[in-house]
Amino acid sequence: MIAYVRGSQGTVGVDLRELWLVQPDGGRNQALTTMGVSSYSPAWSPDSTRIAFATNVASTQFDIYTIGLDGENEQRVTDTAEDTFEPAWSPDGKTIAYSEDGAIYVIDVAGAAATRITDKANNDSSPAWSPLSTG
């Protein structure tokens, strides 16, 4: 299955983005989120049971959430003053790396505090775990 972002026109010209799932052959296209806001950067958990993504559902700021493949059990992972984007799961599924305010952070999915692992001087973004690394 492939997760992707589908755009739609909201009220008063607001651009909305929802997460969708589709089979590789184009069959069984279905909405994963129906939040009525913008959601971006879907990332599969290593066991393929959840998707992490960035959304502004709770405020004007974007935070990282996870959701089950049935569109249920939405869980907020970050709650920050800055936008957070580009979630990337660790190979063991316990940690998510993400970008925030020009730096890369890691956070325990179970709810521990985030740790900044790069500085923001170089506008760092797009974290990607090695499949062989540990969380």
- Is residue 69 situated within a structural domain? yes
- Is residue 119 situated within a structural domain? no
* 55-77 pLDDT tens trace: 998 878 899 999 999 999 999 99
Q: How many domains does the chain have?
A: 1
Rounded to two decimals, the pTM is 0.90
- Is residue 9 situated within a structural domain? yes
- Confidence tier at 11 by pLDDT (50, 70, 90): low
- Confidence tier at 134 by pLDDT (50, 70, 90): low
- Is residue 67 situated within a structural domain? yes
- Is residue 93 situated within a structural domain? no
* 15-42 pLDDT tens trace: 788 999 999 998 888 999 988 888 999 9
Structure tokens of 15? Answer: 């651009």
Q: Give the residue numbers spanning the domain of 55.
A: 2-88
Q: What percent of the chain shows pLDDT beyond 90? A: 68
Question: What is the spatial distance between Cα 84 and Cα 74, in angstroms, rounded to a whole number?
Answer: 17
- Is residue 39 situated within a structural domain? yes
- Is residue 95 situated within a structural domain? no
- Is residue 115 situated within a structural domain? no
